[in-house]
Structure 1
């Protein structure tokens, strides 16, 4: 039986280094955090070979006393906490006292530092955990730390390092996260002979964001702010026009510390639900400030993960803040998609509420489909339902008079019928003028898009996407109130499914019933459809259930009931909406445009596609080279 023995300090430090120092980016992060804690107003970072050969961090902070240098590279030695109680009120970036010891154990490290009270500085060299005597050195106030030959004495760890290009990418990301959290600090990064970033101090966070990610993204940011004492939330969320295929541009900061939190990332996804396409992730830069005792940052050595005392409260605050802001913002795609929506006053008037915040909060209550409350006034259709809601009849073609006929395509103009086609085109333009004079201000293009004149330019609307959004919100409101119309079949229709599909359908019978789809077992892998939504009466029940099955089987895990219901609502709305290529009468066009202002979000369809593109007169003038 092996005997238990005390590990040496060198082994302990190497174990700690394995937890804290994963790659050069980890060193950059730890040293930058120490510089911020030292009160630095300027920090310069220089890397060679992606940080494998050299990492140098120089700051103008308070420096380290000569007598404390040996302790600085000792395990669990720190000036930032004194007792165990301090761990629950950590107000500094670093506090564990193991970063410098871990770095010095697996590299050749040099510390050169001077305090403002000292006439000269001090220098300490540590090679693989073996420290040399402290010697005097000339240097300015502050601290310089050089880390060379990272993992030189742990070749196994060194083999896991990637190419210099990969490592500089990770190191730059670590630098960016610190620089974003502290815009008041002048931060500079060099790699080899190239300057990567030079970020002057600023009191405007958007300026720091623009310097790192470009003016285009910075201009598309929507400012958000909320206070729920003692927690405050400030920052920016990007217009849905800007998204990523991953969540790497979701920057969350807690009391100046960059964090990762799955619950908050989920809240972001919920806030953007219906605004982004599947597989796209929102972009945000958000800062949370709260008393230090409300969050435990001592969860992991890297300090990226935190544990909140009341995570649910933070989740709700983030979700409601973003949704409230989005509901009062113009999120239409195009150059003009910023600021308060021009229809906001109409929405308020329709809802009967006195402020946009009250109205937005009313809208947020509709996001829970299992709510028994009636839909809010602004969600409820005003007057008769949308005229195009009348499906199953096919849409009427444009009438010979009083409507707008589609413009003929070039290939449709024959030599024999050229004159007639030209006459038709002229008649179409005249009809369009009539439509404008009647107040509709819209014409249909290729049976796909609606062109609308606006105060400052024009708007091109995707007729299917807009109608899908309108129907989705109408159906959602009816489902919440239990008022969705269903159509019973005189003879239930059997539908054959695969075994797993039949099981999924029968398992979610109650959920499907909310959508007006009633199913019963019929034996084997066959189910009976006895009713389905009235608005889909022109579709065979087999097709309707097929769409439902696809949604049920599309996830690797059992979906949440609310998420599944939301997906099924998307399907029903998509099936019931006008199609790409359907001709609309002038009355239907008018009804479609009138109903879009009664929706919670008419800027995007339920799948996240924009319903309209906006072009200002300036945009058009630029295209025609007039400016």
Structure 2
């Protein structure tokens, strides 16, 4: 008997569904796009168990008749196109005819709908692609689809879903993206009976941006508009003073479809023309309207990736639009309170006479070695050898001499390791080691960020933070760990919160606690590109002497390298 066999339809459908339906947010995305394609002006989403138990999407779109509703759940059945040439003029979000059949193959589905021309509605109950019940119902024009027990019959898929908070944050992201793309549509999102999002119909993009990002962020945004040969680029982006450590809040839409594009993201950042700090990313939304036959949206079942016929001219237009918009506004940020040096003063230095700070040199002189103070000897102690600090290069690396060898220290990696060890020690002693802020820091957050704070709040408070709700979509930070450094600022705290979104991969509370400890250490540390005084460099190296593992940072990267005298002589051809 041969080894190759044909799979049955049920197995085929469930395998195919894996490409389209990855998690509850995938279901919400597909159902929302169907509602928008149906011309809905009011869409309501209700989920239970963060979508794992129940997802309900209701709309006031044009609905379906009896014939359409039965066909809609068949594989590759769609109202969006009839032949391959239609892809060149496709104006809808959906078109593959896979979403509803995929959902029905991995969950139990109930649907009720009424066509605007029909006198009565129709209801179906479907499981495993089979219609279990069909009846007439009285209802308004529109459609309601309820998805129960997602992946209940596929334990292997169910176990890979993350915590409710993480899955809910993905759903919030999906609804938020569609709300940005369709400001004239009202959106609501409830988890159980709790209202998570509510966006009324907005007359224009800027009003919807205010709903999504908040008034404080929107005030810092710049509008832009540019057209060229069948392409229109418009949107709102924040000034360089307001950036994030991830691209989570940079939304790209092509013909109202949210997409991920490295080329467009790069073009946007290039439009800032050096105004962005290293590893910082813009906040806002960009909308590209392009001739449909110039793009291919049929790249992946999720339709998140698309191909452009010619990406270079488009990227150039995006870059020009952003650069011109930023060039026409005042981008000098408002002054903010200045915090103490990011490298903390240890007990040994308390009461020491401080030298007056010198003005920082121009950032253009990145390769200049600082010599504002004479070299300082650091005695051998712990695992590191005796060193003499020489200076700093590229505002990132500390140069020191150890005997006849040259030592180069990555200031961020080294300080990150120091911070991590301090956090561990304070926790081992059972002390939170918190310091109250003279002026509490208010954090204006969106719904996703608020969910993350609430989810991880008990863990980060154990590490020395004190955070409390302060009105709608705002939290107040009253205390931070004594090692906080950059985390005393609003931008530093927001960077930490945004990176918490990646912690869904951790399998236990202890793993998450360890991950958060690493994040706090990373965001507390001095940055690459930050000018340090000789005294700060000396203190950092002294603190490295006092820890057990000074050679790698929290992520395993080296903190220090040594170039021997012999290696230098070889480089300069003094020896063979």
TM over 0.5, shorter chain = yes
SS in 2 for 1:80: coil
- For 1:32-55, what per-residue CA distance to the aligned partner results, in whole angstroms no more than 9, with x for missing partners? 000000000000000111001110
Residue 134 of structure 1 aligns to a residue whose secondary structure is strand
Quote the residue 1:11 is aligned against. 11
2-structure distance, mates of 1:547, 1:262: 37
Instruction: Name 1:245's counterpart in structure 2.
Output: 245
* 1:468–1:547 CA distance, 2 compared to 1 (3 A): farther
Cα distance in 2 between the residues matched to 1:163 and 1:58? 25
2:373 counterpart of 1:464:
no
Q: For 1:215 and 1:85, how far apart are their aligned partners in 2?
A: 44
Q: Report what 2:270 is aligned to.
A: 270
Structure 1 residue 273 displacement after superposition: 5.0
Q: CA deviation at 1:86?
A: 1.2
Q: Structure 1 CA distance, aligned partners of 2:327 and 2:409?
A: 32
How far is the alpha carbon of 1:579 from its aligned partner?
9.0
Asked if 2 retains the 8 angstrom alpha-carbon contact of 1:464 and 1:580, the reply is no
> Is the contact between residue 269 and residue 276 of structure 2 (CA under 8 Å) also seen in structure 1?
no
- Partners of 1:182 and 1:325 lie apart in 2 by 23
Aligned to 1:27: 27
Q: Where does residue 112 of structure 1 map in the other structure?
A: 112
Q: Give the 3-state SS of the residue equivalent to 2:363 in structure 1.
A: helix
Separation in structure 2 between the aligned mates of residue 232 and residue 251 of structure 1, nearest angstrom: 16
Alignment of 1:353-368 (within 5 A): none
Q: Tell me the equivalent position of 1:168.
A: 168
Show CA shifts across 1:125-154 (max 9, x none): 012322124311111100000001101111
On the 8 A contact 2:294/2:309 being kept in 1, the answer is yes
Distance 1:22 1:298 in 2: 18
Gapped regions of structure 2 (runs ≥ 5): 337-351, 368-398, 400-405, 412-528, 536-576
Structure 1 217/335 Cα, relative in aligned 2: closer, same or farther at 3 Å?
farther
Distance 2:326 2:218 in 1: 17
Aligned to 2:471: none
Is this contact kept in 2: 1:227–1:233, CA < 8 A? yes
Corresponding residue for 1:563?
A: none
Match of 1:85 in 2: 85
Shift in CA distance, 125/547, structure 1 to aligned 2, threshold 3 Å: same
- CA drift at 1:306: 0.3
Which is greater in Rg?
A: 1
Identify the residue that residue 121 of structure 1 maps to in structure 2.
121
CA contact 2:74–2:129 (8 Å) conserved in 1:
no
**Correspondence for 1:254:** 254
Return 67-76 or 201-210, whichever deviates more.
Answer: 201-210
SS for the counterpart of 2:169 is: helix
What are the superposed Cα offsets for residues 501-546 of structure 1, whole Å, 9 maximum, x if unpaired? xxxxxxxxxxxxxxxxxxxxxxxxxxxxxxxxxxxxxx9xxxxxx9
CA deviation vs aligned residue, 1:295-319 (integer Å, no higher than 9, x gap): 1000000000000011111111111
CA RMSD, Structure 1 to Structure 2 (Å): 3.3
Distance in 1 between the 2:248 and 2:309 partners?
Answer: 26
Counterpart residue number, 1:38: 38
Residue aligning to 1:62 = 62
| Per-residue deviation, residues 381-435 of structure 1 (Å, max 9, x unmatched) | xxxxxxxxxxxxxxxxxxxxxxxxxxxxxx99xxxxxxxxxxxxxxxxxxxxxxx
The count of corresponding residues between Structure 1 and Structure 2 is 372
State the alpha-carbon separation in 1 of the partners of residues 284 and 210 from structure 2: 13
2:203 is aligned with 1:203: yes
The one-character-per-residue Cα deviations of 1:267-293 (angstroms, maximum 9, x if unpaired) are 223233532222222212100001111
- Kept in 2, the 8 Å contact 1:464–1:578? The answer is no
**Is it true that 1:130 corresponds to 2:130 in the alignment?**
yes
CA distance in 1, matches of 2:72, 2:92: 16
Structure 1, gaps ≥5 residues long: 337-410, 413-445, 449-462, 476-538, 540-545, 552-573, 582-627
Please give the alpha-carbon distance, in whole angstroms, between the structure 2 residues aligned to 1:447 and 1:113: 71
- For 1:30, what is the secondary structure of its paired residue? helix
Aligned residue for 1:288, secondary structure, equals strand
Counterpart contact for 2:42–2:60, Cα < 8 Å:
yes
With normalisation by structure 1, the TM-score equals: 0.55
SS of 2:243 mapped into structure 1: coil
- Alignment match, 1:180: 180
User: Cα gap change, 1:548/1:184 in structure 2, threshold over 3 Å: closer, same or farther?
Assistant: farther
Distance 1:578 1:299, change over 3 A: closer
1:128–1:153 Cα contact (<8 Å) kept = no
Kindly indicate whether the alpha-carbon contact (under 8 Å) linking 2:28 and 2:171 is maintained by their aligned counterparts in 1: yes
